Structure formats: C-alpha cells, structure tokens
Amino acid sequence: MIDIQNVTYHHGRSLILDDVSLRLKKGGITALVGPNGAGKSTLFALMARLLPLQSGSIRFDEMEVGKTGTQSLARKLAILRQEANVASRITVRDLVGFGRFPHHQGRASEADEAFVQKSLHEFDLASIADRFIDELSGGQRQRALVAMAFAQDTDYLLLDEPLNNLDMYFARSLMQQLRALADAYGKTIVIVLHEINYASGHADEIIALKQGRVALQAPPESFMTAENLFAIYGMDVQVETFGNRKIALHQV
C-alpha cells in the first residue's frame, strides 16, 4: 500500500503540490494523469526521495520515505524519471545490470546475471544488448531504462511517462507487460500517462492531478466520462464505449 498524507510542496514561492493525500492499494496498476505542470513528476520525485519532503508523509507499506535508508528504499521501489537523459557510453546490458546494484552492491551473483538476462529478453533488448546506449534510438533507450527499473525487482514501480518515444507496437506491449507483472507478481505500478486511453485500457484505477491537487481518483469505468475529462483538461471530448472499454476520442 502507498500512503500519501498531506503532502504540500513549494518551489521557491510557487505552490506545486497542495495538500495531496492519496492511498493506493497494493498490487495493480494506477495511472496518474493530468495537464502539463500539474505536479505529477514532482509527486513522483517526492515519493522516490529524489526531492526532500517539505511537509506531510509518504509510506510504502511499513517504510516511511525520509526515515528509511536510501539502499532499503532502492529494494522497495524503482523509479523511471521523465527526463532520464543518461549520457554515459555504456552498453544496454551494463545499464540493465545496474538495476541489480541495490541487491548486490557491486558483486553480481549468477542469480543477478540471470535476472539481467531475463530483463533483456522481457523488453526485447537481447539483440541490442551489446550496443552503447548513446547509439540507440530514443525508443530503444527508453526500453532499456524501463528494463533497468524492472531489473531492480521491487514491489513498487514508479514510471514517469514511460511511453515517451515508443511506437505504438512497443507502447502497447509495454502496457501489456506491466499488466502481466501486476497480475503475476502482485507488483504495484504507478504510471504517469498522457494518453488517457492507455489508462482506460490497462489501469485498475486512475488518479487525476490538477494544479497540484487531487482532482479525481476512480476506476476507469467511472473515470472516463466527458464531464470528468472536461473538468480535468478543460476540453470537450467525446467518450465512446467499445466492448467493455471506454475510449476518449480526443484526437479529433
């Protein structure tokens, strides 16, 4: 369970997060949506102790962020940042291998190697495992970063716009992989999405953030209405039902 209580955050004078309280149950996929600048990335950074909390508290099960050692947290949660611009000239295999660092602190066991191999296969990276990441396309690099977070093998996975740069084949397959991870291993995945239909199609719950406040938290069926989308994004969007899914026709 992720328990966020009364988190308020200021950048200088401007208020970025305004008394955010959220409770996410363990296991499953939660999509975090909201307009640009709503504070999604800031909330993630606070959850992953990349920014210091100014007020309020965040807990992952029994671990309280800010009171738990950074190494223990690295075995509890993995984060993929939105602007993870890794400039080093290291191979995909090495990058994914560093995902195991929290577990072995530099001394990889055979089990660690095996897990890296599994991550490479899982994200279709085996064929480019020995390429340098600075020689990959944006989408390939993005998949390598997701694979690194996966290799960290944590209960909680925070992914900030992981679909950036992915073509529709890889975008959908990433969502399906996350679904499988949540279902098979009981992982708790929180994912920032801009494409609301991915949230509708793959998440168990959707949380909307707007101007630093929680605007709505609901399962996709009740979240996906024209009124809600208007309230969050300020635009008229037609919502249609196909089979058991609700799809927003926002591109047209």
Partner 1 sequence: MPRETPPQRPWIRVTLTTSIVAILLCLILISLSIGVIETSLADLFSQAADGEGLLLLSRLPRTLATLLAGASLAVAGFILQTLVQNRFVEPATVGTADSAALGLIGVSIVLPDAGIFSKMLVGSLAAFVGALGFLALVKRLPRTQPLLVPLCGIFYGGVISSVATFLAYENDLMQYIGIWMNGEFSGVLQGRYELLWASGLIALAGYAYADKFTIAGLGRDTASGLGLNYSQTIHLGLAIVAMVTAFTVITVGMLPFVGLVVPNIVSRFVGDNSRKVLPLVALVGGTFVLGSDILGRVLRFPYEIPAGAIFGVIGTFVFLWLLLARPSRA
Ligand X SMILES: Nc1ncnc2c1ncn2[C@@H]1O[C@H](COP(=O)(O)OP(=O)(O)O)[C@@H](O)[C@H]1O
**In which residue are the tokens 């993995």 written?**
78
Q: Which two tokens stand for residue 15?
A: 């208020």
- Closer residue to ligand X in complex, CB, 42/200: 42
Q: Which does 219 bind (CB under 5 to 8 A by kind): Mg ion, ligand X, partner 1, none?
A: none
Please give the size of the binding site for partner 1, defined by CB under 8 A.
40
Query: Taking CB under 5 A as the rule, which mask of x and - marks residues 219-248 in contact with Mg ion?
Result: ------------------------------
Q: Between 168-185 and 138-151, two packed helices, what is the crossing angle to 10 degrees?
A: 10
Residues 120-179 that bind partner 1 (CB under 8 A): 124, 126-130, 132, 134-137, 152
Least separation in angstroms between residue 135's CB and partner 1 is: 7
Does residue 164 interact with Mg ion by CB under 5 A? no
- The C-alpha atoms of residue 50 and residue 36 are separated, in whole angstroms, by 20
Query: Taking CB under 5 A as the rule, which mask of x and - marks residues 16-45 in contact with Mg ion?
Result: -------------------------x----
- Closer residue to ligand X in complex, CB, 36/85: 36
Q: Which does 11 bind (CB under 5 to 8 A by kind): ligand X, partner 1, Mg ion, none?
A: ligand X
Nearest to 2 by CA among 20, 21, 25, 29: 25
* Contacts with ligand X, residue ranges (CB under 6 A): 11, 16, 34, 36-42
What contacts 209, CB < 8 A, 6 or more positions away?
Answer: 20, 32, 33, 34, 38, 39, 40, 43, 215
Nearest to 38 by CA among 207, 157, 165: 207
Residue type, 46: L
Reduced to 3 states (helix: H, G, I; strand: E, B; else coil), residue 92 is helix
- Closer residue to partner 1 in complex, CB, 98/233: 98
Q: Which does 75 bind (CB under 5 to 8 A by kind): Mg ion, ligand X, partner 1, none?
A: partner 1
Residues 179-198 that bind partner 1 (CB under 8 A): none
CB 1 within 8 A of CB 61: yes
- The C-alpha atoms of residue 167 and residue 42 are separated, in whole angstroms, by 26
